[in-house]
A and B are shown apart, each in its own frame.
Chain A
Amino acid sequence: QVQLVQSGAEVKKPGASVKVSCKASGYTFIDSYMYWLRQAPGQGLEWVGWINLNSGDTKYAQKFQGRVTVTRDTSITTAYMELSSLISDDTAVYYCARRLSGCDLDFWGQGTLVTVSS
């Protein structure tokens, strides 16, 4: 069965960076895109960026341009999202989600809480 398992919760100080991982299993890794989204406490969903797991091409929301980097390691079927220059407003649950051609975000990771606090 398809599973996306994310790394654990993180607490970071303002100005630091965080790197969240998303281990995929149960399907052909490179046949999909991996999306990253976030949800601030009590708020709605926001798209951060995506990566084509085959080519490595990426696209980021303009809001995060220059601060976010999404990568993947096909040998261990894992995608990563790194966010730098953290501020308190970056406190959120970060999700990875798979997208296959012809569908939308059909499987999601369990989420990773990133807390930014001095």
Chain B
Amino acid sequence: EIVLTQSPGTLSLSPGERATLSCRASQSVKNNYLAWYQQKPGQAPRLLIYGASSRATGIPDRFSGSGSGTDFTLTISRLEPEDFAVYYCQQYGISPRTFGQGTKVEIK
């Protein structure tokens, strides 16, 4: 199965700053079927990005996804207070779909 490694484990930033999250796959993700999810404590995950770079319905344009093959990035251009959460990448190109271990974006 494809192993996804996210970095950094924790990102300490201030509101208004730019966040760059990385997700590296152990092998090429078929069709760039890579998604990003946001999860807040006690809540279900929320789809942000699918197909590596397509924003899900209702997701603000400060969230953007990029990358292909084995290296993918989620960028939050200017952090809003509600963006402090855990972010997971997930590949769904090859079964079984697998998740990264998560990156926590915390307030500095």
Contact = CB atoms under 8 A, between A and B. Distances in A.
Contact of B45 (A45, A46, A61): A45
A104 B47 contact: yes
Contact of A110 (B33, B44, B95): B44
B68 interface: no
Nearest to B88: A45
A106 B97 CA distance: 15
A62 interface: yes
A16 interface: no
B90 interface: yes
A44 B101 contact: yes
Contacts of B50: 103-104
Kindly state the interface size class of chain A when it binds its partner: 10 to 19
Interface string B66-108: 0000000000000000000000101010011111111000000
A104 B33 CA distance: 9
B56 A108 contact: no
Contacts of A105: 35, 37, 45, 47
15 contacts: A44-B99, A44-B100, A44-B101, A45-B99, A46-B99, A61-B96, A95-B44, A97-B45, A103-B47, A103-B56, A104-B56, A105-B45, A105-B47, A106-B56, A108-B45
Interface of B: 33, 35, 37, 44-47, 50-51, 56-57, 88, 90, 92, 95-102
